Amino acid sequence: MASEEQDPEGLAAARPLLTDLYQVTMALGYWKAGRAREPAVFELFFRSSPFGGAFVLAAGLRDCVRFLQAFRLRDADVQYLASVLPPDTDPAFFEHLRTVDCSGVTVRALPEGSIAFPGVPLLQVSGPLLVAQLLETPLLSLLSYASLIATNAARLRLIAGPQKRLLEMGLRRAQGPDGGLTASTYSYLGGFDGTSNVLAGQLRGVPVAGTLAHSFVTSFSGAEVPPDPILTPASGPGPKVDLASRVDMWLERVCAQLGLGVQEPHKGERAAFVAYALAFPRAFQGLLDSYSVRRSGLPNFLAVALALGDLGYRAVGVRLDSGDLLQQAQHIRGVFQTLAAQFQAPWLESVLIAVSNNIDEKELARLAQEGSEVNLIGIGTNVVTCPRQPSLGCVYKLVSVADQPRMKLTEDPEKQTLPGSKSAFRLLDASGAPLMDLLQLAKEPAPQAGQELRVWLRGAQQPCSVCPDSVEPLLRVYFQQGQLCETLPPLAESRAFAQRSLGQLRPEHLRLQQPAEYKVVLSEQLRTLVERLRSEAPV
């Protein structure tokens, strides 16, 4: 495994042998046929948008570029391949593999965070046939899941709206550690505000957040004595206070105000809150549902928060993890407002209310509705596992060899490919909203704003005309002849770009349920090539 110096992003799992064996057997076939160095072009794309939506958020490019920069078969890799290929394989093939790298590879791609549509390449790989073939599985692995996660996160952000904070907290539910790191990274790109995943913070710069779990609360019985219960005022020197004693004083007042009966809130829970407050006086938060929210968690939290308030500290939030989250949040906000007035503590009104508990799109819409008092929503399983559609289904198809177009003609029309190395353009209206994406052969001149174009929908019998107000090239060269030729922006910048891109889509394409289909059209030259290759194929 690569060292941390060679692999600062923790991507050691994305190595050349993270591939399917048939990539290696094809490589041997190309080499044996004398075709290993023939120039080839592959395109990576998806056939249909996930989750019943109309778009995908392109993600994973930064991982692909790092992988390409480091791509080299080590001696141990070659020795292993020799052990799984037939024993009579020519040793010269393995010597060739030792020389393989990406120095002859060029990659054009959609920028990280771009809106993408079916059939439009996320990535175009040009290079020696053998090398470009070996890149297929790793690149699919790096792009497909990242784009799926980013798209899922973008949908959740659209449902939540711009004001609610979203926290990804699904590491323990993710498909292994690599899946967890990818999910934390690209849910942030898709619009989440942060993650509970500390490694994603360290390696990728994703903002991290977290509070406490029920185990912390239930570990206390109430008999524990803090070794140092004394707290200094937030403003600096001043009378020190025994926090536990001050909490007991406030608890009596809170319970009286809330009209609670003779049953005292749970002592162990209160001891846990005091311990947490002593550790984090400037960031105290309470998890309220270890026992009863109304009879125990809420009064215990209020007692600690108000005791801290006497010393100039401000509690930052509470979290709910069970029950009717919307209803409980409304009740808690009402209590905060009432006691803020009763105890002259105006800061209490705006204490953040966070919720979690297997939240899906439907529940998120409920929590985000107008009048909701929920401020932060933590989502785990339903963002990192994408249960509505666990795979994007990206494919990596050969479109040109030795400057000759190649096309897959198959019994299933949906699986037929578009031949030739291509360029892609987004045609925009006067407001800057996308009208359609145009695929054309790379040798064709770029379309011009204000110029009427004759274009073809796939499968259409007649062309249509379009006159764009502006034209945006989609594919940019990021990696050329083994060198990074355009610096990838920081993750936070790609996140902002993704949100701007989503904001440009028309509402009918942005709808999450039954959206209008976005048009991807072919130039006349590309359609003519498709029809010619079809006619030349054996019947």
CA separation for the pair 481, 103 (Å, rounded): 5
Judgement on whether residues 520 and 435 belong to the same structural domain of the protein: yes
Last residue of a domain, one of 379, 413, 432: 379
* Strand 230-231 to 241-242 pairing: antiparallel
Is position 175 within any domain?
Answer: no
Last residue of a domain, one of 328, 347, 379: 379
Judgement on whether residues 127 and 95 belong to the same structural domain of the protein: yes
Is position 174 within any domain?
Answer: no
Structural contact between residues 298 and 290, judged by C-beta atoms closer than 8 angstroms: no
**Element (DSSP H or E) covering residue 123:** strand 123-128
Rg of the chain (C-alpha set)? 29
Residue 117 burial by Cβ neighbours in a 10 Å radius (0-12, 13-18, 19+) = buried
Rounded to an integer, what is the distance from CA 28 to the centroid of its chain? 36
Judgement on whether residues 344 and 415 belong to the same structural domain of the protein: no
Judgement on whether residues 310 and 413 belong to the same structural domain of the protein: no
CB atoms within 10 A of CB 363: 18
Judgement on whether residues 438 and 480 belong to the same structural domain of the protein: yes
Contacts within 8 Å (CB) and 24+ apart, 75-80: 77/15, 77/16, 77/17, 80/17
pLDDT along the chain (539 residues), means of 10: 41 80 98 98 97 97 95 97 97 97 97 98 98 98 97 98 97 93 97 97 96 96 92 87 96 95 90 97 97 97 98 97 97 98 97 97 96 97 95 97 94 89 97 96 97 93 95 97 92 97 95 95 97 86
Phi and psi angles of residue 280, each rounded to the nearest 5 degrees, phi first: -130, 65
- Token readout for 24 is 């290696």
Question: What is the model's pLDDT at position 4?
Answer: 34
Is position 72 within any domain?
Answer: yes
- 269 lies in which domain range? 210-379
CA separation for the pair 310, 241 (Å, rounded): 9
Looking at the structure of the chain, the number of domains it has is 2
CA separation for the pair 167, 209 (Å, rounded): 8
CA separation for the pair 172, 356 (Å, rounded): 14
Instruction: Say what angle helices 267-279 and 298-310 make with each other, to 10 degrees.
Output: 40
Among residues 129, 80, 72, 127, the alpha carbon closest in space to that of 98 is found at 72
Judgement on whether residues 375 and 450 belong to the same structural domain of the protein: no
Is position 194 within any domain?
Answer: no
Is position 372 within any domain?
Answer: yes
Residue keyed to tokens 């570029």: 65
Judgement on whether residues 362 and 415 belong to the same structural domain of the protein: no
Judgement on whether residues 369 and 266 belong to the same structural domain of the protein: yes
Rounded to an integer, what is the distance from CA 452 to the centroid of its chain? 38
CATH code, domain carrying 299: 3.20.20
Judgement on whether residues 463 and 526 belong to the same structural domain of the protein: yes
* Strand 165-168 to 56-57 pairing: unpaired
CATH code, domain carrying 523: 3.20.140.10
Is position 12 within any domain?
Answer: no
Question: What is the model's pLDDT at position 236?
Answer: 79
Judgement on whether residues 147 and 30 belong to the same structural domain of the protein: yes
> What are the strands, taking DSSP E only, across 358-401?
376-379, 395-401
Last residue of a domain, one of 379, 414, 438: 379
Q: Say what the pTM is.
A: 0.94
Judgement on whether residues 115 and 146 belong to the same structural domain of the protein: yes
Is position 8 within any domain?
Answer: no
Question: What is the model's pLDDT at position 170?
Answer: 96
Question: CA quadruple 33, 35, 40, 44: dihedral positive or negative?
Answer: positive
The torsion of the CA quartet 28, 34, 39, 45, rounded to 10 degrees, works out to -30
3-class SS of residue 482: coil
Is position 239 within any domain?
Answer: yes
Question: What is the model's pLDDT at position 10?
Answer: 47
Structural contact between residues 375 and 353, judged by C-beta atoms closer than 8 angstroms: yes
Judgement on whether residues 278 and 408 belong to the same structural domain of the protein: no
CA separation for the pair 355, 199 (Å, rounded): 23
- Token readout for 130 is 């053998």
Question: What is the model's pLDDT at position 13?
Answer: 55
